Structure 1
């Protein structure tokens, strides 16, 4: 797959019959470094096993999912955010030879799971107070917030005094 010269400076290098594995990570301003092990397969698939804490059991993450798991969510620039250690320095993936074999389609099974999970979201909803007639916004990010909204929606005469965010 790769020559010894291309991989000589990478830390934690392991070679398998159809993959190579190197130490990688992703840095978040909020949580710091999340360390993992990147496997590059000959078919072009990239999978990362997370080692951020001893209790973390996240294995077989796509680069996008690892970036999200480490707290660097939103920008989808995993080629810049995920790094490997070379000569005791953090080098972004796009500056290494590892992307030579990357194929987006190889991560397809994980991609479908991610797209399904991405569609499961709620938008904020509004309910009008029966007393003052103001519309109040309900955030719908968690199951608890959704339950609060649906309870308020089912109430016959909902009032601003019942709004959960002013307490």
Structure 2
């Protein structure tokens, strides 16, 4: 699975359980939208040191409560509560990126030019990891929830 992930921090009192309202969060606001292709492979299934409780790594990219759209053939939007955001933030702050990379590299390298391109591929995923960590850290500090959109490819 490959995904372009778009994220938006939202104060919990402002959240609505409406896919139309949630989709509008992403209109014309490119500064708060991030796109991460294949980043879910870094976090799913790996057990970085130290191991995290409640496996928040599965929520970093693709986790959250689904808010289904009127067109059920489109993927749902996902919402992480402020408490879940704090857990993900703590996980990312403690995660050993090199351990995560070692777990995912064999699945990722063939998609990005193989072993010859590993330094550049590693760097791109490390930067994305840093961006996600910074996003979740800021969002947790503000006590906000996160809305995710994994657009159709």
Of structures 1 and 2, the one scoring higher in RCO (CA 8 A, sep 6+) is: 2
Greater Rg over alpha carbons, structure: 1
Question: Under a length normalisation based on structure 1, what TM-score does the superposition of the two structures give?
Answer: 0.25
More helix by share: 2
